[in-house]
Structure 1
């Protein structure tokens, strides 16, 4: 069984993604840490994004313009058999263009295109290899609310050029609030179960994908004459998230998760893996604040 097939199988069974959240977040700042407990590499990420909505018509048709920036740092506790000076810091920047408009029978179309770059910025200028493209197209149907119960169906497809999973993923989601203090979201690639302690306090059990892909502007010579031209980190994890809602739109969140699968590797020009940096990390932590629609 190939590594790609294993990853796809895990996605269909476990995964959750932040695609839906990115479609509704107007601004977000968060910090992620994968400590080096039981592993040799520590991973940290600072991320900030914003989307500015522009109303185009009176029927709730909007254009969204935004930026999504990440600074990623890798720190190793051991010496690898090659020079790692170009493997410490990575910069990711996406320019986001989104569009949403209502359709017939309570359906809504959502489209997002994200050109950008993902690189370690050790050269004097950007190149075409630093460029990444991402995008999402989704059809959303909001069900009717009845006795504080609501449903939502989303059908679509998404692709993230710097997400750590460089292939298109189906985007299928069914959300239901089945009791005043319980809701669930089932689908591909997102699944969670949420409990509402109060309007301000919530706890969510979830599964999620995370990771990144970045170009290496200078080739990193590896053993046996091979050279790495990109780095890829992909994670499949599950855990708990606590949320504190200051208002309906503004919230703080903190996550603690167990890493089910990790793949942290250097790749050749044609994306073949040539060296594994670390695949033993098990703890994943994240906290942040966001403003939603």
Structure 2
């Protein structure tokens, strides 16, 4: 296929030898299947800020630190230079998160670097070499749902212990290969300790995953992993190998209307996001019918 303009510099520099096809196009980026030597990988091309429709980006940027004081001041003022620097921080956030989470024991695609807004990374495939399906497209038994849900909760815990919250986790941001779930799409990952929205983002992430698996294992709908995990985190007792029960005993206090309204708003936003993801999934380009292991 014709080489996209943003990928051409990588071809010129010998990082990419061939662009085979477009895998998908979303709100934040377009993903292409590329050949690097004899290896098939994927190239995630981030969209320009004017084209990106990711909502409430400021809420996700909160707490992100920039060491260079000039860059930080420019970003705060919102100047042209500052917006350019903010874009670089946004794009580098994903590759930084991928390296950090892989080191923490979370299954994510292996990154190979970010070059001028193009992230080169591993193409996740199933046991037959086809592009791995998203969790949204996978049917499973009750037993498998319970097992994979526990795996996902362990990943959420490891992420939190590494200081990160995905921030947009759902069945649309998880791939499933022969070994189980693989978490993807992390440019909006937030600092768990520095972001004021951390708790409700974690709660939304966990409940999105819970609700999906509960379609196959209804008993999961009654679990309270979000409250249990956050409670342990706040008390400094959360460890990467913490044993969870999914049970949380509420402390009876007067209702905090602000928190309740925040949770309602978050739930409404999550549902709108879920519908948009479903629409994208139905309209996106699906290359899963091609077997790239033989290319």
TM-score scaled by length of structure 1: 0.27
Q: Greater strand percent: which structure?
A: 1
- Which has a greater percent of helix? 2
Report the TM-score when normalising by structure 2: 0.26
